[in-house]
Amino acid sequence: MYTVAVSKDFIANHYLIGGDWGHENFPHAHQYVLELAIETPALDKHGYCVDIVAIEAALNDVVTYFRDSMLNDKPEFAGLNPSIEHFSRILCERLLAQVNPPGTGTFNIKLWENATCWAGYRKSF
């Protein structure tokens, strides 16, 4: 399998709901690092899994939408606890729709909320 990956950092706010998580129940910010890795068994005619410029453009678009926002107020989080697990799935689905890679493979999201904690979501295409 070939892999190409791009990462981007951004700040967003949230607060957790549905449990007693202390300070996490109150609005606060995280400096997220979003990493998108695309795996494919074959390269396109240019020798790419997916053009990095296209990946960067999709990441910029998605990050711009979430940057400096309150995740709890976004329609994607309606009825959901805005955990990094849910957030990683939402990011994966949005990015997959924008990048629309050719052929078959795996779309992998890793979302860091600090230097030591991350969640991920993987989807086949």
| One-letter identity of residue 10 | F
What would the two tokens of residue 84 be? 């990094």
User: Residue 100: pLDDT band by 50, 70, 90 thresholds?
Assistant: confident
Residue 121 has pLDDT above 90, yes or no: yes
Average model confidence (pLDDT) across the chain: 97
| 8 A C-beta contact, residue 123 and residue 105 | no
- Give the pLDDT confidence of 24-75 residue by residue, as tens digits: 999 999 999 999 999 999 999 999 999 999 999 999 999 999 999 999 999 9
What would the two tokens of residue 61 be? 């678009």
Nearest CA among 48, 28, 32 for reference residue 40: 48
pLDDT at 72: 98
The average pLDDT across 2-9 equals 98
pLDDT at 116: 97
| One-letter identity of residue 74 | K
DSSP letter (8 states) at residue 68: T
The average pLDDT across 78-93 equals 97
Residue 9 has pLDDT above 90, yes or no: yes
DSSP-based three-state secondary structure for 91: helix
In the chain, which ranges are E strands? 2-14, 28-40, 106-112, 118-124
Task: Assign residue 89 the CATH number of its domain.
Answer: 3.30.479.10
User: Residue 17: pLDDT band by 50, 70, 90 thresholds?
Assistant: very high
Domain count, the chain: 1
Domain that holds residue 98: 2-124
